[in-house]
Structure 1
Amino acid sequence: MGEHQGHDGLARIAGLGEEHEVVAVWAEHSAIGHHYEELRADGTVDAWTEPPVR
């Protein structure tokens, strides 16, 4: 396995195959931060949280 940068600048762990296509994106924004989730074609979910922009 190797690590590579995703389109969002986050480091992701890649398996032996290719990255699966993103089929749905969910985002929630609030005063305490931003939460994102991407559902991939293989059923996996990438999720991350970012602090608010000040």
Structure 2
Amino acid sequence: MGQGLFPMQATSSEHIEDMISNVPFKYFVLRITATAAARDVFEKYQRLLIET
């Protein structure tokens, strides 16, 4: 199916990553587990917004 989305390469759900190879633009990413509660996802989203 080709390459997956680059956020799938994120290794941490606590440390914000911004250096994944072959991504040609600025970004911030956190791993979110499949079982994460909505509140956890929202908190990670807020953390990422602060980085921009």
Identify the structure with the greater helix proportion.
2
Structure with bigger gyration radius: 1
What TM-score, normalized by structure 1, do the two folds share?
A: 0.21
